[in-house]
């Protein structure tokens, strides 16, 4: 484990704290785009900011330091960031003391940095995914020299342990177990901006999980682009299944979830670990991306429709009642109506509890972006709507089967849509809304399901 770097950054945190004359009055604002890995990275950035004397604000006007932790998985993610960034120009004119930093996946692309340098001169600090831990040093350099700082590493370095976290309050926490991806699906930018697979050491993960438990968190979600390859490159080799067994033994943690699993690496050992570890939830997110074997091959996914369906059968047989969710891309280059119908067929055969569906988005630097036979936007959208409609019908039918059942719900808090209701989730990750006293928050209780919706269940607390 590399904690030396954390100590070095710790010294910079003290220095920044000292430079900021009234540290307690400094406010930061952070916007995070993209996946849970980015969310977890932002919790690290926030941990460092708090150490440097900054406190959080949602209000841009009162911010001294604004950070955008960006995503580039689809074009609309990038457009959103540019939209926000453009609006900061005026704010910076009004308040020249305001500092603006950009980090995350978008910054790992050279053309993005060039574009920001040309068009958004009000940005002060740019850093990437591999040197996120350097925020204190970069901020110190900027405050000390008054010059813009750009520091993006092209290759991934040694993992830095020991950076403080400032986690969202609640009962659930993210825990990143590995970084990067080696799969190079032909549509995906992630391997280019997140580097190769690197797993954290077992002890570092166990220590963090124990700490989370002592802080009162009861559910942890293990994160990685493909958690199934966890541990393969560690000196002391360890499988993801073995990691689950070890985490299952931690007192105070009641639920363990994980994402994402690549179908090509879903081992029998892992299926057994889900089945046999009481705390590992009965839910598997297993992205299929497309149904047609021809398209799957073009996507470089390394499984066929038949392989995938066999795998699903195996999982369902070994873990009856398991909830299955997926990611699907519509309109990959060369996708014909027939290919798309195979995706619908897979959806119907698997009967997912829910699906994240995306319109294919061309990403510069990926092989699929060079393909000639791009699908017109209008066709993509039409297919997308059909896919969502089918999934909604299936989700509602599955949710209907919960009506009348008594389920275990880990209560997360007060419902966002109705302040008189509490909200929580089942082990199968279904949202359950019900009325009950506030003292139930963060407890696991029994709820009687009385009604079902497409995206959630309604119930009554059984005292």
Q: Which positions touch ligand F3S (CB under 6 A)?
A: 34-35, 37-38, 71-73, 105, 190, 193-194
- The values of phi and psi at residue 13, to 5°, are -60, -40
The yes or no reply on residue 361 touching ligand SF4 (CB under 6 A) is no
The yes or no reply on residue 184 touching ligand SF4 (CB under 6 A) is yes
What lies within 8 Å, CB to CB, of 210 at 6+ separation is: 250
- The values of phi and psi at residue 369, to 5°, are -65, -20
# of chain residues touching ligand SF4 (CB under 6 A): 10
User: Pick from 102, 106, 123, 181: which binds ligand SF4 (CB under 6 A)?
Assistant: 181
Closest approach, Cβ 164 to ligand SAH, in A, equals: 27
Q: Binding partner of residue 272 among ligand F3S, ligand SF4, ligand SAH, none, CB under 5 to 8 Å per kind?
A: none
Residue nearest to ligand F3S (CB): 34
Q: Looking only at residues 212 through 271 of this chain, which bind ligand SF4 when binding is defined by CB under 6 A?
A: 225-226, 262
Question: Angle at the Cα of 266 (from 262 to 271), degrees rounded to 5?
Answer: 135
C-alpha 34/C-alpha 349 separation (Å) is 30
Closest approach, Cβ 104 to ligand F3S, in A, equals: 6
What lies within 8 Å, CB to CB, of 114 at 6+ separation is: none
- Rg, Å, the chain Cα set: 23
C-alpha 264/C-alpha 286 separation (Å) is 10
Q: Which residues pair with 431 in a beta bridge?
A: 425, 456
Closest approach, Cβ 190 to ligand SF4, in A, equals: 4
- Tell me which residue of 362, 361, 360, 288 sits closest to 330, measured CA to CA: 360
The yes or no reply on residue 363 touching ligand SAH (CB under 6 A) is yes
Q: Residue 107 or residue 447: which is nearer to ligand SAH going by CB?
A: 107
194, 128 Cβ separation under 8 angstroms: no
- The values of phi and psi at residue 387, to 5°, are -65, -45
Q: Binding partner of residue 184 among ligand SF4, ligand F3S, ligand SAH, none, CB under 5 to 8 Å per kind?
A: ligand SF4
Closest approach, Cβ 361 to ligand SF4, in A, equals: 12
SS3 track for 216-239: CCCEEEEECCCHHHCCCCCCCCCC
Q: Residue 122 or residue 285: which is nearer to ligand SAH going by CB?
A: 285
Q: Tokens 């066709």 identify what position?
A: 379
Q: Binding partner of residue 358 among ligand F3S, ligand SF4, ligand SAH, none, CB under 5 to 8 Å per kind?
A: ligand SAH
User: Pick from 358, 384, 402, 434: which binds ligand SAH (CB under 6 A)?
Assistant: 358
The yes or no reply on residue 326 touching ligand SF4 (CB under 6 A) is no
Question: Cα–Cα distances in Å, from 437 out to 342, 410, 420, 443?
Answer: 47, 14, 9, 11
Question: Cα–Cα distances in Å, from 331 out to 2, 68, 305, 393?
Answer: 43, 30, 17, 22
Q: Is the dihedral of CA 348, 350, 353, 357 positive or negative?
A: negative
Q: Residue 188 or residue 328: which is nearer to ligand SF4 going by CB?
A: 188
User: Pick from 138, 190, 290, 445: which binds ligand SAH (CB under 6 A)?
Assistant: 190
The yes or no reply on residue 199 touching ligand SF4 (CB under 6 A) is no
Q: Looking only at residues 105 through 124 of this chain, which bind ligand SAH when binding is defined by CB under 6 A?
A: none
Q: Residue 69 or residue 183: which is nearer to ligand SF4 going by CB?
A: 183
User: Pick from 72, 202, 329, 347: which binds ligand SAH (CB under 6 A)?
Assistant: 329
Q: Which stretch binds ligand SAH (CB under 6 A): 16-24, 138-146, 182-190, 250-258?
A: 182-190
Closest approach, Cβ 225 to ligand SF4, in A, equals: 4
- The values of phi and psi at residue 147, to 5°, are -110, 155
Closest approach, Cβ 209 to ligand SF4, in A, equals: 24
Name the strand (E) or helix (H) holding 329: strand 323-330
Query: Contact residues for ligand SF4 (CB under 6 A)?
Result: 181, 183-185, 188, 190-191, 225-226, 262
Residues that bind ligand SAH (CB under 6 A): 73-74, 187-188, 190, 225-226, 260, 262, 287, 289, 327, 329, 358, 360-361, 363
């Amino acid at each position: 484990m590399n904690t030396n770097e954390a100590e070095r950054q710790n010294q910079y945190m003290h220095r920044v704290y000292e430079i900021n004359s009234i540290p307690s009055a400094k406010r930061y604002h952070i916007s995070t785009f993209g996946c849970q890995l980015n969310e977890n990275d932002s919790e690290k950035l926030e941990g460092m900011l708090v150490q440097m004397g900054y406190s959080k604000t949602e209000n841009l006007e009162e911010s001294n330091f604004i950070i955008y932790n960006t995503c580039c998985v689809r074009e609309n993610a990038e457009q959103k960031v540019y939209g926000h960034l453009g609006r900061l120009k005026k704010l910076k004119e009004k308040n020249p003391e305001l500092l603006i930093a950009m980090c995350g996946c978008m910054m790992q692309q050279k053309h993005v940095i060039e574009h920001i340098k040309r068009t958004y001169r009000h940005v002060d600090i740019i850093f990437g995914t591999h040197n996120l831990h350097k925020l204190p040093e970069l901020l110190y350099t900027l405050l000390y020299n008054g010059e813009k700082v750009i520091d993006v590493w092209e290759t991934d370095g040694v993992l830095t342990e020991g950076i403080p976290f400032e986690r969202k309050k609640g009962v659930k926490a993210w825990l990143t177990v590995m970084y990067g991806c080696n799969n190079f699906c032909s549509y995906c930018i992630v391997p280019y901006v997140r580097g190769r697979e690197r797993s954290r050491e077992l002890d570092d993960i166990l220590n963090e999980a124990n700490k989370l438990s002592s802080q009162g968190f009861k559910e942890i979600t293990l994160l990685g682009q493909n958690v199934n390859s966890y541990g393969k490159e560690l000196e002391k080799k360890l499988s993801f299944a073995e990691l689950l067994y070890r985490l299952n033994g931690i007192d105070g943690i009641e639920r363990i979830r994980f994402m994402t699993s690549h179908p090509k690496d879903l081992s029998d050992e892992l299926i057994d670990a889900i089945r046999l570890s009481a705390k590992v939830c009965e839910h598997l997110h297993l992205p299929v991306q497309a149904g047609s074997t021809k398209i799957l091959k073009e996507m470089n996914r390394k499984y066929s429709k038949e392989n995938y369906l066999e795998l699903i059968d195996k999982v369902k047989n070994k873990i009856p009642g398991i909830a299955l969710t997926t990611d699907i891309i519509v309109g990959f280059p060369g996708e014909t109506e027939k290919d798309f119908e195979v995706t619908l067929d897979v959806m119907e055969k698997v009967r997912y509890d829910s699906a994240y569906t995306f319109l294919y988005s061309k990403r510069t630097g990926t092989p699929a972006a060079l393909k000639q036979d791009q699908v017109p936007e209008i066709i993509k959208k039409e297919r997308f709507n059909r896919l969502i409609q089918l999934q909604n019908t299936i989700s509602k039918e599955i949710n209907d089967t919960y009506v009348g059942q008594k389920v275990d719900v880990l209560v997360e808090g007060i419902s966002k849509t109705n302040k008189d209701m509490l909200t929580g989730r089942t082990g199968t990750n279904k949202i359950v809304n019900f009325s009950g006293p506030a003292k139930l928050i963060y407890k696991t209780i029994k709820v009687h399901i009385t009604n079902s919706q497409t995206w959630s269940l309604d119930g009554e607390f059984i005292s």
